[in-house]
Structure 1
Amino acid sequence: MRFIHLLVIGALIFAAAYVYRIKMDSTARTEKVLRLHAEIREQRDAIAQLRSEWAKLDAPLRLQGLVERHLPLKPVNGTQYDSLKNLPDRPPRMFRPGEPDPIGSMINTIEAASDPDSVTGSVPQPEDKQ
């Protein structure tokens, strides 16, 4: 009988130690979760603060004031014209006056290639029916 009593007492001590270990693990994990929640809350607060600072810096009225203060710009007037003498010179010709226009000759080549009767590699040739 004493042996059974000692065995039961040993099992109870082992069970108490195991329950204590489980409790300590759960307490440690709970503390870790609470720290993570606090860190998440701090990060969200920091993000909210940065967003409010960005909204303040990006405010149209603030930007307009900075533009007026630091840039020497004036509003564009619809009647602002310049004289023809201030236009830049015409670029030099790339071909002689008697020669054909190279771009025009390319257009003629493109038009000839777009002939509906011509066959390309992407269009199957019609089969000869005899």
Structure 2
Amino acid sequence: MRFIHLLVIGALIFAAAYVYRIKMDSTARTEKVLRLHAEIREQRDAIAALRSEWAKLDAPLRLQGLSDRHLPLKPVNGTQYDSLKNLPERPPRMFRPGEPDPIGAMLNTIEAASDPDTVTGSVPQPEDKQ
């Protein structure tokens, strides 16, 4: 009978220690969650402060003042526009109408040079298998 009592007391002590460990783990995790929530709140506050600062820096009136102060711009008036007939002539063609486009010909040359069967000096010659 005493052995059963000792066994039950040992089981109760083990159970109490296990419950205490679970309580301490849950308390530590709760504190960690609370710290994370506080950190998230701080980061959100920092983001809100940066957004308000960006809105202040991006304000149209502020930008207008800066451009007036630092850029030598003048308002556009109607005399600055001209008609299409006063545009300069189109530059001369570099090739005749019947000839192939020189840039297209260069691309064809480049594509031909990049043929995977073409061997260059940096690639060793494939050995003949006999």
TM-score w.r.t. the length of structure 1 is 0.65
Q: In 2 relative to 1, CA 120–64 (structure 1 residues): closer, same or farther, beyond 3 Å?
A: same
Q: In 2 relative to 1, CA 59–113 (structure 1 residues): closer, same or farther, beyond 3 Å?
A: same
Do residues 102 (structure 1) and 111 (structure 2) align? no
Percent same amino acid among aligned pairs?
A: 95
TM-score w.r.t. the length of structure 2 is 0.65
Q: In 2 relative to 1, CA 42–98 (structure 1 residues): closer, same or farther, beyond 3 Å?
A: closer
Q: In 2 relative to 1, CA 5–86 (structure 1 residues): closer, same or farther, beyond 3 Å?
A: same
The CA RMSD over aligned residues, in Å, is 9.8
Shift of 1:80: 3.0
Q: In 2 relative to 1, CA 88–30 (structure 1 residues): closer, same or farther, beyond 3 Å?
A: same
Match of 2:13 in 1: 13
Q: In 2 relative to 1, CA 87–122 (structure 1 residues): closer, same or farther, beyond 3 Å?
A: farther
Q: In 2 relative to 1, CA 42–93 (structure 1 residues): closer, same or farther, beyond 3 Å?
A: closer
Match of 1:128 in 2: 128
Do residues 83 (structure 1) and 92 (structure 2) align? no
Question: Per-residue CA shift, 1:59-87, capped at 9, x if unaligned?
Answer: 00000000000000000011236799996
Match of 1:35 in 2: 35
Larger Rg: 1
Question: Per-residue CA shift, 1:43-69, capped at 9, x if unaligned?
Answer: 100100110010000000000000000
Other structure's SS at 1:79 match: helix
Task: Give the aligned length.
Answer: 130
